Chain A
């Protein structure tokens, strides 16, 4: 996959870090402001896609990125299940919100397992969509007519 011109590369270098930071902010404050795991995860995937489109890549780097994103996606899925099992182990049913009385409402540390579940969902959605983009946009075999 070829890269793009110098203007696009310079702007991508400046903007991608801010996009990633903004995505993390939306995920972590998901229980206080609009957003949550899905919006932040897709935004993080968009940051990675921007870097990948602007700078291009060669074959072995693509394989490395596939492995990296599949590891993160699996970690996200297992993290969500671990949050669910934490509720089961603590005596209530599966996927109960068990630490919901820790901290005061309307602060960052509150709402029990909801921020942890948001982080797991963001990892899963972000890594999954980046892997789909690599498969559709950078795989090797389709020829232009």
Chain B
């Protein structure tokens, strides 16, 4: 159990670095470390499917971030040490939200089942009849492609919409008549 806590602390430290550091490429790399820590935590809670998907998705996310950062700018020009009056209202609202969140969380975490003993009402039924009704030995695949296949259809639609959105936003229409030089 000690390695779980060490990984949680490493994940939080990398998250603080990713949010605060001035160089944007370093922030992308720190976010990669957060993602890998999440993948190892998935292995520790016995979820190998999620670990595989999290590792490859994290690699692709860092590649996308690096592609955008290397084409635009490396440094964050907004880091400053003065406190301007514009920053007071969002900070106060954020503090109020954190206090309210903490109160609600202490109530809710008392009602949840403890870490390590879930209720498993519906999942008990899926485990009992999974192999017989679907024929799949991987119960997570049986759940996402047989018992809950509509959710997978919704995910396919969301992914298609995101791809169409990216290709529409990035596409250039017609000729550009400004005097910028070509990027080869």
Distance from B147 Cβ to chain A, minimum over Cβ atoms (Å): 9
Which single member of B60, B137, B176, B180 contacts A32 (CB below 8 Å)?
B137
Considering only CB atoms and an 8 Å cut-off, how many residues of chain B contact the other chain?
49
Contacts of B134 in A (CB 8 A): 97, 100, 111-112, 114
B137 with A36: CB separation less than 8 A? no
A64 within 8 Å of B by Cβ? no
Contacts of A31 in B (CB 8 A): 135-138, 141-142
Whether A129 touches B138, Cβ cut-off 8 Å, given contacts A34-B48, A36-B49, A141-B183, is no
A65 within 8 Å of B by Cβ? no
Whether A49 touches B60, Cβ cut-off 8 Å, given contacts A39-B49, A39-B52, is yes
How many angstroms from the CA of A103 to the CA of B134 in the assembled complex? 12
Within 8 A of A (CB), among B135-184: 135-138, 140-142, 144-146, 149-150, 152-153, 156, 159-160, 162-163, 166-167, 170-172, 176, 180-184
Contacts of A26 in B (CB 8 A): 52
Contacts of B182 in A (CB 8 A): 140
Chain B contact residues: over half helix, strand or loop, or mixed?
Answer: helix
Contacts of A32 in B (CB 8 A): 136-138
Contacts of B63 in A (CB 8 A): 49, 53, 133, 137
A121 within 8 Å of B by Cβ? yes
How many angstroms from the CA of A124 to the CA of B140 in the assembled complex? 20
B98 within 8 Å of A by Cβ? no
A133 with B167: CB separation less than 8 A? no
Q: Bits for A49-74, please: 1 = Cβ < 8 Å to B, else 0.
A: 10001000000000000100000010
A24 within 8 Å of B by Cβ? no
Which candidate, B7-15, B66-74, B88-96, is the interface stretch facing chain A? B66-74
Q: A132-B166, A139-B172 are in contact. List 5 more A-B contacts (CB 8 A).
A: A30-B141, A34-B48, A36-B140, A100-B134, A100-B146
20 A-B residue pairs with Cβ-Cβ distance under 8 Å, sorted by A, are: A31-B135, A32-B137, A34-B48, A35-B49, A35-B52, A36-B140, A39-B53, A39-B56, A42-B57, A49-B60, A95-B149, A111-B142, A112-B134, A118-B145, A124-B160, A128-B162, A137-B67, A139-B170, A139-B172, A140-B182
Pick the 6 closest A-B CB pairs, nearest first. A137-B67, A34-B48, A31-B136, A111-B135, A111-B136, A95-B149
